[in-house]
């Protein structure tokens, strides 16, 4: 009997320990204290859904709000000057053109710049007025010869793959030699993503600069003197050329600048 009572006592103690439950320790979540994970689950389920701001713009809206223009670096012009004139940051210009510190730019280098559409329109109107005002350019004693024989396929002021054409594009035969239109000094020769193989010559005794783009190859180097009629390269299809339908046409882009302003080359020569 005593052993039976002892067994009953042990059983009661065991059951009572099963019924007793210790309160769970508090749980920290999202800077709040909860008594159980059930409370956390309930909090998550009842949280309001976070929605994007109605004022945010998607990538397509950002792209549509800007336009690319191409700037030709002028003598003594710095990246700071260019950034200021287009109201953009130096870093924006550097990133768009893969420039590295100290972000030096070369004379007559072509830079790609993202500007607002409104700014582009305003600037285009100003350039059109400034560049098209003189109907006949004053050439002084400078007399040009044709840079290459051929046919004009894009005229000054027309739309081109790189924006408004600030020169003329002349279609010619494959392997055609490109000649210096007048005596001068080569101030730039390099490859450009837009104009391909590019040669720029400052004419002797004047403030006129001529450029020859889309060359298959260049036959001159920087700082060399060239004479009128001297071969400076071979016509080609490098860079963003003017297409004739779906056909790549051998050509050159020929441009003239006087006092850093683009001029119609046909004021200097005829085709």
Segment 33-53, tens digit of pLDDT: 555 545 544 544 444 333 333
pLDDT in tens, 227-255: 999 999 999 999 999 998 889 999 999 99
CA dist list (Å): 138 to 114, 192, 207, 221, 259 = 34, 30, 11, 29, 12
Task: Give 150's Cβ-side CA count (13 Å radius).
Answer: 25
Q: What does the pLDDT read at residue 124?
A: 37
As a dihedral over the C-alpha atoms of residue 125, residue 129, residue 132, residue 134, rounded to 10 degrees, the angle is -170
Position 11 confidence tier, pLDDT thresholds 50, 70, 90: low
Mean pLDDT of 124-138: 37
* Torsions phi, psi for 219 (to 5 deg): -110, 10
Output the pLDDT for position 205: 92
- Segment 202-210 shows an average pLDDT of 94
Phi, psi angles (nearest 5°) of residue 128:
-60, -45
Mean pLDDT of the chain: 77
Between β-strands 208-218 and 168-171, what pairing exists: parallel, antiparallel or unpaired?
Answer: unpaired
Looking only at the bridges linking them, the beta strands covering 168-171 and 231-235 are: unpaired
pLDDT at 97 > cutoff 50: yes
pLDDT of residue 223: 93
Which CA distances in Å does 68 have to 14, 63, 87, 100, 161? 83, 10, 14, 21, 11
pLDDT at 141: 59
Residue-wise pLDDT for 144-203, tens only, equals 999 999 999 999 999 888 778 999 999 999 999 999 999 999 998 988 888 899 999 999
pTM (2 d.p.)? 0.57
- The pLDDT score that the predictor gives to residue 32 is 53
């Amino acid at each position: 009997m005593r052993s039976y009572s002892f067994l009953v006592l042990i059983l009661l103690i065991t059951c009572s320990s099963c019924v007793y439950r210790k309160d769970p320790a508090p749980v920290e979540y999202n800077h709040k204290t909860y008594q159980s994970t059930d409370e956390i689950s309930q909090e998550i389920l009842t949280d309001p859904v976070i929605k994007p701001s109605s004022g945010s713009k998607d990538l397509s809206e950002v792209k549509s709000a800007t336009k690319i223009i191409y700037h030709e670096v002028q003598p003594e012009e710095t990246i700071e000057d260019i950034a200021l004139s287009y109201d953009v940051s130096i870093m924006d210009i550097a990133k768009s053109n893969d420039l590295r510190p100290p972000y030096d730019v070369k004379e007559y280098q072509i830079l790609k710049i993202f500007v607002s559409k409104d700014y582009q329109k305003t600037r285009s109107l100003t350039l059109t007025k400034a560049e098209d005002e003189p109907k006949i350019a004053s050439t002084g004693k400078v007399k040009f010869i044709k840079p290459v024989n051929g046919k004009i396929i894009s005229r000054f002021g027309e739309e081109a793959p790189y924006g408004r054409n600030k020169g003329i594009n002349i279609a010619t035969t494959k392997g055609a030699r490109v000649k210096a239109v007048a005596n001068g000094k080569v101030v730039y020769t390099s490859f450009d993503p837009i104009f391909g193989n590019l040669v720029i010559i400052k004419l002797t005794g004047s403030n006129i600069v001529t450029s020859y783009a889309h060359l298959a190859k260049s036959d001159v180097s920087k700082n060399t003197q060239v004479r009128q009629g001297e071969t400076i390269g071979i016509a080609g299809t490098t860079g963003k050329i003017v297409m004739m339908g779906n056909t790549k046409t051998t050509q050159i882009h020929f441009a003239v600048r006087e006092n850093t302003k683009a001029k119609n080359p046909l004021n200097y020569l005829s085709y």
